[in-house]
Amino acid sequence: MTQASFALDMTRPGRRVDPSLASLSYETLELSDPTFFAADNHGLVRMFREMNPHGVLRIGGNTSDDTVWGGYKGKMPTYVPRRHGKLLQPHVLKPEGLQALAGFVRATGWKLVFGVNLRIGSPEMALDLAQTVQKLVGDQLLAIQIGNEANNYEPDYAAFDAVWTPYAKALRAAGLPIAGPDTGANTDWVIEYARRHAKDNVFLSRHYYREAAENGSIPDLLAGDPGFFGEVEQIMQVADQYGLPFRISEGNSYYNGGRDGTSNVFASALWGADFMLALAHRGVAGMHFHGGTLLSVETSLGRMAKAPAGGDIVAQRDAQASRYSAIAGSRELGFQPRPLFHGIALAQRFAGARMLPGQLDTGGANLAAYAAKQGDAVLVTLINKDAQRDASVALSGLPHGAKGELMRLRALALDSRRDVSFAADGHVSADARGTSRIAVPKASAVRVRWA
Ligand code: BDP
């Protein structure tokens, strides 16, 4: 048993956790089935509301830059999208897909971030699409974003800025809210973009994936990514300077569709909870986990996909979803949470709270700890990402004599694909000096709400 400690400091409250922290990202191609994002797709509406009643849905990804707007009456630009060297037919977004999306957004209460095609070089078509989105979605439209990971097709920031500017001008002149730059991984782009365009934007954005799926593994995922959080701190300095929120508008464990046996197992739940709280601690407003159907994500990568049939209903639903998706299933089969969903739900319990600093001594285990003040209550989350070591964590700095309500996130093993639970697990008390001891078994997390 590893002896660890976590000393809370109630005297220096930090960042407020934005209620939209738990957010999602889907491919534009998903709208080609107007029964998916639809008000009467009750199973999916329920999953969204359960994850977060105040979330933000971002529609974009590679397929946003491969899509032409079917409702556009102007001159269609000639263009063939290319991905991984393959020539593809552009996807046509039909008005029914957008109408259904508007109904879905209303049914969930979520806000919408919508991506328009930058690669095609038609600000006119983008404006027409964005205005249609705004007409349908109203004030639930948070922002239009222009292009997806333009760093993959523009040689440098200056080239991106040059093609982006006519779009931004057209959208702003029409009174549309915009956000960006939605770069894949270029922190310098975000900073330069903020310097040039902060006043025209409602938030700043970039993406995050730890690595390519080919290089993924459970130990790699759970090892953490301190270099990335250094970049987040750089962006937050600039975001604060301009008074803009910063969102990870798309991201997940591993790109190229996620890694089977890592992105879709219990390890991803511990990773997701830790990742979100590490972002919130630094003041990041939202984390949009990318996912959706296997078909749309594989198509976004220029690959063909067909979900294998067979197995019990849980396996069948699982097969419908991209490997990193937090939600699996289909309208016909019903929807179910992936392990990651439960990790997101755990972190989302911090919504609206003010993060508190704390001194963590891990005792050598792979442990993360977060605390926050939520009204009169104090929240503490301990995440034991260690595959070998159980931990016993001595907490101090708690409200004296407080009663703590436990919830545990657990599964049989780090590579469990199902039977993940996030459930109440009794009570503990802090003593008269405000200390308490909590056991956190290996590969599990606990959340304690002290009142
Ligand atoms: C991102 C793209 C998204 C892909 C994802 C991936 O925006 O469309 O599905 O990578 O590779 O770069 O999984």
Q: pLDDT by residue for the chain (451 residues), tens digit each?
A: 999 999 999 999 999 999 999 999 999 999 999 999 999 999 999 999 999 999 999 999 999 999 999 999 998 777 665 655 555 678 999 999 999 999 999 999 999 999 999 999 999 999 999 999 999 999 999 999 999 999 999 999 999 999 999 999 999 999 999 999 999 999 999 999 999 999 999 999 999 999 999 999 999 999 999 999 999 999 999 999 999 999 999 999 999 999 999 999 999 999 999 999 999 999 999 999 999 999 999 999 989 888 888 899 999 999 999 999 999 999 999 999 999 999 999 999 999 999 999 999 999 999 999 999 999 999 999 999 999 999 999 999 999 999 999 999 999 999 999 999 999 999 999 999 999 999 999 999 999 999 9
Predicted pLDDT at 84: 54
Instruction: List the beta bridge partners of residue 293.
Output: 321
Question: Which pair of structure tokens corresponds to residue 250?
Answer: 């798309």
Cis peptide before 245 (omega within 30 of 0): no
Q: Is the CB of 19 under 6 A from ligand 1?
A: no
Q: CA-CA-CA-CA torsion for 161, 167, 172, 174, nearest 10 degrees?
A: 170
Closest CA to 250 of 36, 19, 64: 64
- Atom index in ligand 1 nearest the CA of residue 252 equals 13
- Atom index in ligand 1 nearest the CA of residue 184 equals 12
Q: Is the CB of 148 under 6 A from ligand 1?
A: yes
Q: Is the CB of 296 under 6 A from ligand 1?
A: no
Pocket test for ligand 1, best of 209, 210, 264, 290 (most atoms within 8 A of CB): 290
Pocket test for ligand 1, best of 148, 248, 301 (most atoms within 8 A of CB): 301
Task: Give the Å distance between the CA of 148 and the centre of ligand 1.
Answer: 9
Task: Give the Cα separation of 234 and 247 in Å (integer).
Answer: 14
Predicted pLDDT at 85: 55
Predicted pLDDT at 445: 98
Q: Is the CB of 62 under 6 A from ligand 1?
A: yes
Nearest CA to ligand 1 atom 3: 61
Q: Is the CB of 251 under 6 A from ligand 1?
A: no
Q: Is the CB of 293 under 6 A from ligand 1?
A: no
Q: Is the CB of 325 under 6 A from ligand 1?
A: no
Nearest CA to ligand 1 atom 10: 255
User: Running DSSP on this structure, what letter comes out for residue 324?
Assistant: T
* Count of residues making up the chain: 451
Pocket test for ligand 1, best of 62, 215, 288, 323 (most atoms within 8 A of CB): 62
Q: Is the CB of 353 under 6 A from ligand 1?
A: no
Predicted pLDDT at 284: 98
β-pair type (421-429, 56-60): unpaired
Question: Which pair of structure tokens corresponds to residue 423?
Answer: 């459930």
Predicted pLDDT at 83: 56
- Pure H helices in 306-415: 313-320, 339-348
Predicted pLDDT at 332: 96
